[in-house]
Amino acid sequence: MTSESSNVRVGLVGACGRMGQLIIKRVLATEGMEISSAFDLVNIGKDIGEIVGAGKLDVPVSDSKDLAQVLKDSKTDVLIDFTIAPATAVNAPIAASAGVNLIIGTTGLTAEQKENIADAVKKNNVAAVISSNYSIGVGVFFKLIRDAAKYLGDAYDVEIIEAHHNQKKDAPSGTAVTAAEIISEAMGGKEFVYGREGVCPRGKEIGIHAIRGGDIVGDHTVMFIGNSERIEIRHQAHSREIFVGGAVLAAKWVVSQKKGTVYAMSDVLN
């Protein structure tokens, strides 16, 4: 979809939530971008600009059941979705069928759900960025653990520990799973073990452990543990703003990319 405006026209699912409001504020502060549509389960009919404290934007909050029609009427170029897996699994293909590009930061999507979204992207000739983490720092974190895994190989055991706030619904985090997949690929394929209990002697698996508590934004630590030494590579998120910046960067980037393609955040960061 190409809008009549020279600005990239952005829609948000979950617009009234914490992440949604932060993204809206960042879009409004970014040259060449504007908010064209907003969707949520609450505040239907209210102006999203007034909800986020940015003044009237003449963009009412719409119900997601009207997603396709509102996206078309508003000439939205790209839809950003950081909600929950069941909602994203339904809404992303609908948006793609409306000719709208996608930025998906929802975690907990099943392999089947991801495949259905990718199929919709290709079928409807739009572009999408799907990533478990939109932080630029996490992009560097992923590169560091990939390089470490190539150097260290099977001589070192690998454990991944992630910690998030007590409201996060899925475990382990998408970022932790992505980290495990990167390391597994670099090491030629590894089994994942999620936590341990009872008699469970360690083999050559990658251990993944989840901690939930308080208001932790997101901590990820990868431990390469050898005899007499260990290497730890850690990323700590201090604020959700790091994800917001990456998501808005991706939204501006994706509209000019080859259609029918699903990209990762590493593509955005080149």
Residues labelled catalytic: 164, 168
Q: Which of 95, 91, 38 is nearest to 62 (CA)?
A: 38
CA distance 134 to 252: 13
Is the bond preceding 172 in cis, omega lying within 30 degrees of 0?
A: yes
Cα→Cα distances 27→49, 69, 147, 151, 191, Å: 12, 22, 34, 40, 40
Place of tokens 């508590």: 213
CA distance 220 to 163: 7
- Residue 252 neighbours by CB under 8 Å, 6+ apart: 8, 30, 32, 33
Helices 136-152 and 241-254 cross at an angle (nearest 10°) of 90
Q: H or E element: which one contains 127?
A: strand 127-130
Q: Which of 234, 149, 232, 229 is nearest to 190 (CA)?
A: 149
234 DSSP assignment: E
CA distance 162 to 109: 18
Cβ(33)–Cβ(10) under 8 Å?
A: yes
